[in-house]
Every structure is written in C-alpha cells, then in structure tokens.
Amino acid sequence: MTSVPGMAEWAPLLKHRGPDATSPVMDDYRRAAAGFSWDAVGAELGVVPGGALNIAGAALDRPAAATPGKLALRFVDGAFATQDFTFDELRRAANRFANALTQLESGPGATVTTLLGRCPELFFTAFGALKCGAVFSPLFSAFGPEPIRSRLELSGSSVLVTTARFYARKVAPIRAQLPSLRHVFVVRDDVTAPLPPGTLDFAAVMGSMPDEFNTAPTLPDDDALLHFTSGTTGKPKGVVHAHRAVIAHYATAKLALDLHADDIYWCTADPGWVTGVSYGMIAPLACGVTTLVDREELDVERWYTLLEQQRVSVWYTAPTALRMLMKAGLEPVRAHRYPSLRFIASVGEPLNPEAVMWGMEAFGRPVHDTWWQTETGAIMIANFAAEPVYPGSMGLSFPGVEVALALRRPDGTVELLTEPDRIGEIVLRPGWPSMFKTYLHNEQRYLESFAGGWYFSGDQAKRDARGYYWFIGRTDDIIKSAGHLISPFEVECALNQHPAVMQSAVIGIPDPVVSQVVKAIVELKPGIDASPELRRDLIAHGRRLLGAAIAPRDIDFTPALPRTRSGKIMRRLLRARTLGLPEGDLSTLESGT
C-alpha cells in the first residue's frame, strides 16, 4: 500500500496569542490529554458513580439552577426580529411539555419525533421528551412524505410535533399508514385557521400545563436520542444514543469548540441532523452558553449581518456552507466587521485547505476542521484552539478518545498501523460516552462495525508524525488503481485549486487493466463555460499536481453535484449514474442535484 503523493504542502497556521486574547479552555493539548478522565467530566456535570443521568437534567436543569436569568437562546427571524429565552424560561417550557407527555402516557419507552424548523417549540419538545425519559428523534423538515413515513415506521414513534403547514402537506397523507403514531401536536402558523382533525394544539396544551416537573432519574445507559444518518453511502441508518452522551457533548464543546461561559455561539447545522442536536442544542446549553438560532436558511449577506450584529464569538458550520460564502467572494464579507469572532469550526465533509485559508483572509482566523459521525455522537478528531492548524488536516484525536488507523483483513483480524503516513480506516476504542448503542432494528450491522475491540468508522485517513489526521475518503469511495490507493479528497483538492473550478467529485471507474481509473465530475465557477479546451486544461492541471498515475483520466462537467440534504457529495450516486447502475436510496438527495 502506498501513501498518496500530491497533497499540497501548506505551512502550519500558528495561533496569535496577544495579551488581550481569550486564553483557550485547553491551553496545552498534550498535558490535557495525559490527565483526561471521562469520570472527572461526568463529575463536573454532577454525575455520581452508579447514579442517574438525564441529558435534560445536565444540559438544562443544571445551568438553569446556576444562572436562571442568563440568556440561553436567541432566535432571529427573517426580519431580524429576535425572541429570547433565559435558561429558566427554557426549563419551565420544557417542563410544561414533559407534563403534557406524562399525561399522555408517553414518557419512558416512547419515542417523540419532531418535524420542525429551528423554532422554540423544537427545544421545548426535545428537552421535555428527555425530561420524562422518552427518546427524542428529530427529522429533517425538508423531507417529503415518504422519507418521513419510513423513518416514523422504523422508529415506532408515538408522538410527533410538527407545524400546521407540514402536517397538511407531509403528515396527513401518510398518517393512516402509521398505527403507532398516537398523538400529533401541531404548532399553528395561523391561529385563525382551524386545527386539523386528530391533532393537538401545541400552544394550547403547553398553556394548560404546570411549569414544574421532576426530571426522570434515567440511567446513563438508557436510550435518549435517535438520529438518522445522512444516507451518503446508502440507506440511512437509525442510530441510538444514551443519556451518557451529554458528557461527551459537554467536554467536546469546551475543549474542541473552546466554549467559554461568556460566548455567543452559533451552530448553523439543521436540527434534523446529529450536529444540529449535539452542538446546536445540547452542548452549548450544557456549557451554560448563549446560543444564537437563525430561523432562516443560508444567505450570504444575512449570515455576515448575523455574525456582526449578534456579536457571535464561536461559530460552528460546514464546508458546504463555507463554499457558498467563498463563492460570493471577499467583498460581502469585508462589508462587515467581526471583532467578537474568536473561533470558527467546521464538520461534515472534508475541509479543503483553501477553505481554511479563506477563513484567514475573510476573518483573520483559520477554520478548525473537526471529524465525527452520527455513530460517534460527538467530536472525535479536532483542530484545537491552542494547537497549530495544518490546512487540509482534520486535527488531533480528542483527549480521552483512543483513535487509531487499522486494516481489517477478510479473515476478521485487524492490523493497527503505527508508523506515520500509512492509510487505514479510522478506528475508535469503545468507551467514550457518546458512542452509539446500536443501529435501530439492525443489531447485526452494529456488531459488524466492530472487530478486534475497535469500532470501524468506514472512513480512511492517514496520520502524520505529529499525530495529525488527514482525511483520505470513505472506504466505499477510495479508488484502487494499478496497485495505488487513491484518495478522492486529494484529487478533488488539486482540481479545486484550478481557477475555473468551484468544486469537484472524484470517483473510480472499473477498468480491466488497472482495476479502476480516476474520473472527475466538475462544477465550474459562475460565468465559466465548459469546453473541450477547459477539459484538456484541467486534465493537464491534474497531471502537473498529482502525477499521471493519480490524475483524472476523464472529466465531466455538471451544473450541480448531487448532494445529500445535509450538504455531502453523493459519490455513490455519481458512480451509479456514470455506470448506469441502480441509484439506490435517494431519500436524502437534495432536490435539483
């Protein structure tokens, strides 16, 4: 196995730490990692060995007791009007919903699903459900009826909270097919319109409930969250997490996102995906931090206005959003000032070096890549505030998480790769608190993700001599050509450096001689037209940077790469389309791509 040449060499970005700079929560990674203990983090959250733990208790009751009047959530609507909730107001609202669920006998053992945008009712429902010991399961609100039906059927949810508009369009047509769904709460967009038959008025029920509730003394291993994966590599999986996950949410928000008590924090992820719940809801509240919630979708001018006006200090976003901002150029970003912005982080897809450098140009701060997945529940690899950033690298393993690279042989044995720069699958030693409990109704698949005492993530990476991890690709996407292992990410990074390229996706095409050849599908920058000359120029550019063995042999142009609704490029779909194979599960495909 060879290591792939061609990754652009970038100088590390060393952090400037002037006298007025906020010192990082973790100022020495190696010392913190050596002294780290999950039990000690649990103790900070009030967990006693053998005792109860409830996510809502740790992330809401605890900070609400310490700082009841502090601003917990600020929602901003399309007209920039704000709606604020203190920690205690949020706690009381969650209590009301917990009382409503308890009256409906939908506490322990029930699954409560939301089909909502980023609105206050989403938070009331999530923490209310957790408080009474139910499982909280968010769905992405842009899903149509069929993906909603199949997920509700899999989860066996008995309670759904949605808006009147979503109910009419997406739930009413499938409700008869969901016998387990007993109660549907509707958040009414228009209170003068009649309540749909067979539903409960969310606001009216909340208004009739007491605002005190004793949070259920759930055990750390009790089920708490059900997330569906993005469906990038196949049919989305239901991933179950326990209440103990909050220990990892809290620790990673402090040490990897560098959350300080006085931060204004903004996570742009949709609550329909794990990032939106782990880091848009639970983690910042557990840290007692004020969270900004934008009710609208990405808009370049709006985002810069929010960062400036709301004095955001820590911002957690995704490569797909950063690419949209980059596409708009530097002028809009420079029309605002961001004196409060201290830390920028990203997750969800490979973050190319240009995006890290763009952070420097646009905000004077690098973008800190973080790596994790629905199954890991929390950040496992990160670029930390006090450590140098190597653009293109995902960073170092999180303290308390044992990360390694491994090869899994067909006979089931595992080889750990200890020398630097070898490519292997990212594996994690079970034991961190937010490790998933199972794939819902697919225990077999869960068990298959473990071998030799390690969890196999399905992602390939290499680690350099400094301990930094570099993403190579998903195991399914890695290209094998003439004895080389080729990283689609490295080839894409090289192509993306060409001035005409907006973004690209690289796949392997079967070849009788060399096993697979590299093919790229390229989305061009606005105003640039595809042409045979440009194709030739791009192939030459690839060869120059990567060498003939690795550069794409063939290039196609597309107006838009197929993406999941959470913004990930679906290379499996490009492969299927190119080879004329069945397209598989498309429930999470972004429309129009």
Q: Which of 347, 493, 507, 561 binds ligand ATP (CB under 6 A)?
A: 347
- Binding partner at 371 among Mg ion, ligand ATP, none, C-beta below 5 to 8 Å by kind: ligand ATP
Which long-range CB contacts under 8 A does 207-214 form with residues at least 24 apart?
Answer: 209/95, 209/96, 209/97, 209/99, 209/100, 209/103, 210/95, 210/96, 210/99, 211/92, 211/93, 211/95, 211/96, 212/92, 212/95, 213/94, 213/95, 213/96, 213/98, 213/99, 213/102, 213/131, 213/132
Supply the minimum distance, in Å, between the C-beta of residue 396 and ligand ATP. 13
Q: Quick one: 273 or 303, whose CB is closer to Mg ion?
A: 273
Question: For the stretch 490-517, what's the b/e string if a residue is b when 16 or more beta carbons lie within 10 angstroms of its beta carbon?
Answer: bbbbbbbebebbbbbbbbbbeeeebebb
Q: Show the site string, 469-498: x = touches ligand ATP by CB under 6 A, - = not.
A: --x--x------------------------
Verify binding: residue 280, ligand ATP, rule CB under 6 A. Answer: no
Strand order in the sheet with 238-242: 200-201, 183-187, 159-163, 111-115, 135-139, 223-228, 238-242, 438-439
Q: Quick one: 303 or 471, whose CB is closer to ligand ATP?
A: 471
Q: CA 216, 220, 222: angle at the middle one, nearest 5?
A: 70
- Amino acid at position 102, single letter: T
Cα–Cα distance for residue pair 149/584, rounded to 1 Å: 18
Verify binding: residue 374, ligand ATP, rule CB under 6 A. Answer: yes
* Binding residues with ligand ATP: total (CB under 6 A): 28
Written as six digits, the tokens of 364 are 């004077």
- Binding partner at 350 among ligand ATP, Mg ion, none, C-beta below 5 to 8 Å by kind: ligand ATP
Q: Beta strand pairing status for 223-228 and 238-242?
A: antiparallel
Verify binding: residue 371, ligand ATP, rule CB under 6 A. Answer: yes
Q: Which stretch binds ligand ATP (CB under 6 A): 212-220, 293-301, 344-352, 404-412?
A: 344-352
Q: Show the site string, 432-471: x = touches ligand ATP by CB under 6 A, - = not.
A: -------------------------xxx-----------x
Written as six digits, the tokens of 460 are 């390939």
Closest C-alpha to 94, from 274, 285, 322: 285
Q: Quick one: 218 or 376, whose CB is closer to ligand ATP?
A: 376
CB-based contacts of 452, cutoff 8 Å, min separation 6: 406, 413, 414
The footprint of ligand ATP on residues 383-422 (CB under 6 A) is 394
Q: Which stretch binds ligand ATP (CB under 6 A): 28-36, 264-272, 347-355, 542-550?
A: 347-355
- Binding partner at 347 among Mg ion, ligand ATP, none, C-beta below 5 to 8 Å by kind: ligand ATP
Q: Which stretch binds ligand ATP (CB under 6 A): 59-67, 137-145, 355-363, 365-373?
A: 365-373
- Binding partner at 89 among ligand ATP, Mg ion, none, C-beta below 5 to 8 Å by kind: none
Q: Which stretch binds ligand ATP (CB under 6 A): 45-53, 91-99, 126-134, 367-375?
A: 367-375
Written as six digits, the tokens of 332 are 């809009």
Closest C-alpha to 433, from 176, 245, 559, 581: 245
Site residues, ligand ATP (CB under 6 A) = 229-234, 236-237, 273-274, 347-351, 369-371, 373-374, 394, 457-459, 471, 474, 566, 568
Site residues, Mg ion (CB under 5 A) = 229
